[in-house]
Structure 1
Amino acid sequence: MLRHAAIAAVFAAAATLAAMPAHAQDAAAGAKTFVVCRACHQIGPGAKNMVGPELNGVVGRKAGSVPGFSYSEANKTSGITWDEATLTKYLANPQKVVPGTKMIFAGIHDPAKVQDVIAFLKQYNADGTKK
């Protein structure tokens, strides 16, 4: 009987954890994490292409489509439209998602920080204004 109670307690705890919400995205925290991205990317009013393309309106944008930026063939032909799910994978390990990309960044390995950066990126329209 005690064994059944212990098993039931484990299942109850697992159900509670599964029902908990995922990390809530925090754009302000994402702005702080984005500092490492600023070495290559700009975002916001007046953003320009640098080592990497400007990131205004990146969420919902087709990969390899910023005018005036010289993308790798791998990026141009990836067929990706940047959504939250794809960005989550890409920001954690760019080379794995788009082998041959010019982006040599090793990735953001903390899933919460990845979500925060995505929240930060989602704030910007294609013209650099905030939503």
Structure 2
Amino acid sequence: MRYSTILISMLAAILSVAGARAQDAGDAKAGEVVFKKCSVCHVADTDKNKVGPSLFKLMGRTAGTHPGFAYSPAMKEAGAAGLVWDTASLRDYLHDPKAKVKGTKMAFAGLKDDKDITNLEAYLNQFK
């Protein structure tokens, strides 16, 4: 009996961690709603640029390098200095674009809610 209690406790702990990690991954459906704020200027499901660059296959891309988009000198410099879009850099940028890349031409105040950013990332990650 004692071993079964220990096994049940261990299983509960594992499931709890797995559930927390799944929640950390974000909700792509909720992210699609958040993306509506971005969709005036960006697309995520194709490689075509709009007023802003396409966000298709964004993660792992060096900032300021999407083909055919006229980036600000500040964004090009950020990329040349090593800014690559990943979870951490995107989160920082979306919190306050003008603080992360001083001189960016993106006219967006940012997203203040971490959950919105997590969900947005889950949405963008669908388009790899």
Q: Deviations over 1:72-108 (max 9, x none)?
A: 0110110210000000111111001001011110001
**Which residue of the partner structure matches residue 45 of structure 2?**
44
Q: Counterpart of 1:53 in structure 2: which amino acid?
A: P
Aligned counterpart in structure 1 of residue 102 of structure 2, from 86, 99, 115: 99
Letter in 2 for 1:80: L
- After superposition, the CA RMSD in angstroms is 1.7
Aligned counterpart, 1:55 = 55
**Structure 1 residue runs of 4 or more that deviate by more than 2 Å after TM superposition:** 21-24
Percent identity of equivalent pairs: 43
Cα drift, residue 118 of structure 1:
0.8
Q: In the alignment, what sits opposite 1:75?
A: 75
Q: TM-score of the superposition, structure 2-length normalised?
A: 0.77
* Contiguous gaps of at least 5 residues in structure 1: 1-18, 126-131
Amino acid at match of 1:74: A
User: Which letter does structure 1 place at the counterpart of 2:95?
Assistant: A
With structure 1 as the length reference, what TM-score do the two structures score? 0.75
User: How many aligned residue pairs are there?
Assistant: 106
- For 1:40, the aligned partner's letter is C
Task: Give the Å deviation of 1:32.
Answer: 0.6
